[in-house]
C-alpha cells in the first residue's frame, strides 16, 4: 500500500489527441469540497482509488480522445468482480459468427443443467442485473484461454480471467453445451481444458489483515493471486472499442454484425425495469454507479449510461460511456475504489453504501457538470 503514496494527488495526462490541451476536469472534480469525494481524498491511501476519464471531441468525421488519469497502474491490483462479464459477453457474441448455423437467439443449455438460454438473453441479464449464472454459461461456451488470448490479440492487455463467478470451483474443464441447431437436431460442444492459472505477482495482490474461510477467521492478508485480473486500462480500452470501433484498426475491433452490436449497446444502457425486473428490487441505478448510484430515483430518459459495474470483496468498479442526448454531452469514465475499513475480507462488512457508491456517484456528477459548461 505504501507505494500508492507515490501516486497521491498526481494527475497524469496520458494522451492528448485534440488540437489543444483541454481543461483537466478530473483534477477539478477530485478537488471538490463535496463530502462524498473529500472524505476519500483526505484519506486516499486507504481506498486504492484508480480513475480514467476521457474527454471526447469531434472534428469533421473524426472522434478525438483526451485521457486523464488518477493513480492508474496495471501493476497495482484490484479485484475486478463482475466487470469481467463485459469481455465475456462481447466475445461470446463474436464467437457466434464463426458458425453459420448459430445466432445470438439460438437456444442452448449446459449439460447437466435444466436452464435453457440464448446468448442474447445472457447478455441482457449480465448488464441488467449482473447475473452470475448467465456469465458462467458463456464461460463454458468460450473457455478462459480463448477469452484471454482473444483480448490480447486485439490489444487489450494485460488481462487474466481464470475463474467463474458466484461460487468457488477449481474445475479447469468447461462443461459440454447442447445447442438446438433447429427444431429436430442438436449439437454438443467438446469440453475445453483450460491451463492452470499462474499466481499473479502484482502490488497489493495481498490485502487487509485477515479473512474468513468456511466460517473460520484466518489472521493473515487475503491473497488474490489466483483471482481474475482485469486492470482499469484494459477495461477502458475495451469500452472504447465497443462504443467507437471506427477509431481502431480492424484487427483491434470486435467483429460483431449490426444486430449483435445493436443488441449489445441496448443491453448496456437499458435499466432493469425495461428488461422485466421488479422496479423496487432492481431500481434504475442498481448497476449504474456514476451520477445516480446513491439514488433510487428513475434515470432521465435523455441520459444513457453504457456500462458494466462490479462489486465484491469491498471493491466497487464502474466502466461507463455516459451520453446526454438533450445537452449533447458524452464522455467515458472508469473508476475503482476499495472500501474495507476493518481490513477483513469475507466478513460482508464493507462501506459500499456509506462511502464507495456516493464517491462514484458524485465523481460522475462533478465531471458531468463540467462537461455541461465545456465549449466544444
DSSP collapsed to 3 states, 301-313: CCEEEEEEEEEEC
CB atoms within 10 A of CB 174: 22
Whether the per-residue pLDDT at 2 is higher than 80: the answer is no
| Interior angle at CA 8, CA 6 and CA 11, nearest 5 | 105
Read off the pLDDT band of 98 (50, 70, 90): confident
Say whether 338 sits in a helix, a strand or coil: strand
Query: CA 110 to CA 176: how far, in whole Å?
Result: 6
Query: CA 220 to CA 206: how far, in whole Å?
Result: 9
Res 137: pLDDT = 97
Instruction: Region of 364 please: left (phi>0), alpha (psi -120 to 50) or beta.
Output: alpha
Res 136: pLDDT = 96
Whether the per-residue pLDDT at 72 is higher than 50: the answer is yes
CB atoms within 10 A of CB 239: 23
pLDDT, tens digit, for every residue of 147-203?
999 999 999 999 999 999 997 677 899 999 999 988 777 899 999 999 999 999 999
For the segment 126-154, the average pLDDT, to the nearest whole number, is 97
Res 21: pLDDT = 56
- Look-up: residue for cell 483450460? 194
Query: CA 211 to CA 217: how far, in whole Å?
Result: 6
Query: CA 239 to CA 330: how far, in whole Å?
Result: 13
Res 46: pLDDT = 97
Contact 367, 30 (CB under 8 A): no
Comparing C-alpha atoms, which of 177, 191, 187 is closest to residue 110? 177
Res 16: pLDDT = 42
Task: Tell me the average pLDDT of the chain.
Answer: 93
For the segment 122-132, the average pLDDT, to the nearest whole number, is 98
Which neighbouring-strand residues pair with 312? 315
The DSSP 8-state label assigned to residue 44 in this structure reads G
- Look-up: residue for cell 465484491? 312
What percent of the chain stands above pLDDT 70? 94
For the segment 10-30, the average pLDDT, to the nearest whole number, is 64
Contact 288, 364 (CB under 8 A): no
Instruction: Region of 7 please: left (phi>0), alpha (psi -120 to 50) or beta.
Output: alpha
Query: CA 152 to CA 154: how far, in whole Å?
Result: 5
Whether the per-residue pLDDT at 1 is higher than 90: the answer is no
Which neighbouring-strand residues pair with 186? 180
| Pairing of β 210-213 and β 344-345 | parallel
Res 6: pLDDT = 43
Query: What 3 state SS string does 184-232 have?
Result: CCEEECCCCECCCCCCCCCECCEECCEEEECCEEECCCEECCCCCECCH
Helices (H), 70-143: 85-96, 119-129, 132-142
Contact 294, 359 (CB under 8 A): no
pLDDT, tens digit, for every residue of 245-292?
999 999 999 999 999 999 999 999 999 999 999 999 999 999 999 999
What percent of the chain stands above pLDDT 90? 89
5-19, 54-68, 152-166: segment of lowest average pLDDT: 5-19
Cell numbers for 107? 437456444
Query: CA 364 to CA 376: how far, in whole Å?
Result: 19
Whether the per-residue pLDDT at 70 is higher than 60: the answer is yes
CATH of domain 2-373: 3.40.710.10
pLDDT, tens digit, for every residue of 302-334?
999 999 999 999 999 999 999 999 999 999 999
Contact 53, 25 (CB under 8 A): yes
Say whether 290 sits in a helix, a strand or coil: coil
Amino acid at each position: 500500500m505504501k507505494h500508492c503514496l507515490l501516486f497521491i494527488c498526481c494527475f497524469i495526462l496520458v494522451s492528448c489527441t485534440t488540437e489543444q490541451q483541454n481543461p483537466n476536469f478530473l483534477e477539478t472534480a477530485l478537488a471538490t469540497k463535496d463530502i462524498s469525494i473529500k472524505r476519500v481524498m483526505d484519506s486516499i491511501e486507504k481506498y486504492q482509488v484508480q480513475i480514467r476519464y476521457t474527454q471526447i471531441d469531434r472534428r469533421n468525421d473524426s472522434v478525438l480522445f483526451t485521457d486523464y488519469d488518477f493513480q492508474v497502474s496495471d501493476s497495482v491490483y484490484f479485484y475486478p468482480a463482475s466487470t469481467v462479464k463485459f469481455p465475456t459477453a462481447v466475445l461470446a457474441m463474436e464467437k457466434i459468427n464463426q458458425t453459420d448455423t448459430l445466432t445470438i437467439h439460438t437456444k442452448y443449455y449446459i449439460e447437466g443443467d435444466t436452464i435453457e438460454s440464448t446468448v442474447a438473453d445472457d447478455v441482457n441479464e449480465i448488464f441488467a442485473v449482473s447475473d452470475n449464472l448467465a456469465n458462467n454459461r458463456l464461460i463454458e461456451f468460450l473457455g478462459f484461454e480463448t477469452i484471454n488470448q482473444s483480448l490480447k490479440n486485439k490489444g487489450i492487455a494485460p488481462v487474466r480471467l481464470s475463474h467463474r463467478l458466484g461460487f468457488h470451483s477449481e474445475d479447469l474443464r468447461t462443461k459440454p453445451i447442447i445447442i438446438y441447431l433447429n427444431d429436430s437436431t442438436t449439437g454438443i460442444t467438446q469440453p475445453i481444458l483450460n491451463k492452470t492459472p499462474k499466481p499473479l505477482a502484482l502490488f497489493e495482490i495481498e490485502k487487509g489483515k485477515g479473512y474468513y474461510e468456511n466460517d473460520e477467521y484466518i489472521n493473515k492478508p487475503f491473497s488474490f493471486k489466483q483471482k481474475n485480473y482485469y486492470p482499469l486500462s484494459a477495461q477502458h480500452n475495451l469500452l472504447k472499442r465497443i462504443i467507437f470501433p471506427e477509431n481502431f484498426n480492424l484487427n483491434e475491433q470486435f467483429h460483431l454484425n449490426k444486430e449483435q452490436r445493436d443488441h449489445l449497446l441496448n443491453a448496456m444502457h437499458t435499466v432493469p425495469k425495461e428488461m422485466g425486473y421488479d422496479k423496487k428490487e432492481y431500481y434504475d441505478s442498481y448497476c449504474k454507479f456514476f451520477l445516480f448510484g446513491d439514488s433510487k430515483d428513475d434515470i432521465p430518459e435523455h441520459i444513457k449510461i453504457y456500462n458494466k459495474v462490479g462489486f465484491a470483496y469491498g471493491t466497487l468498479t464502474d466502466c461507463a460511456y455516459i451520453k446526454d442526448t438533450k445537452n449533447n454531452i458524452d464522455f467515458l469514465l472508469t473508476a475503482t475504489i476499495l472500501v474495507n475499513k476493518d481490513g477483513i475480507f469475507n466478513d460482508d462488512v464493507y462501506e459500499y453504501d456509506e462511502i464507495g457508491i456516493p464517491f462514484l456517484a458524485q465523481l460522475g456528477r462533478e465531471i458531468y457538470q463540467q462537461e455541461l459548461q465545456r465549449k466544444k
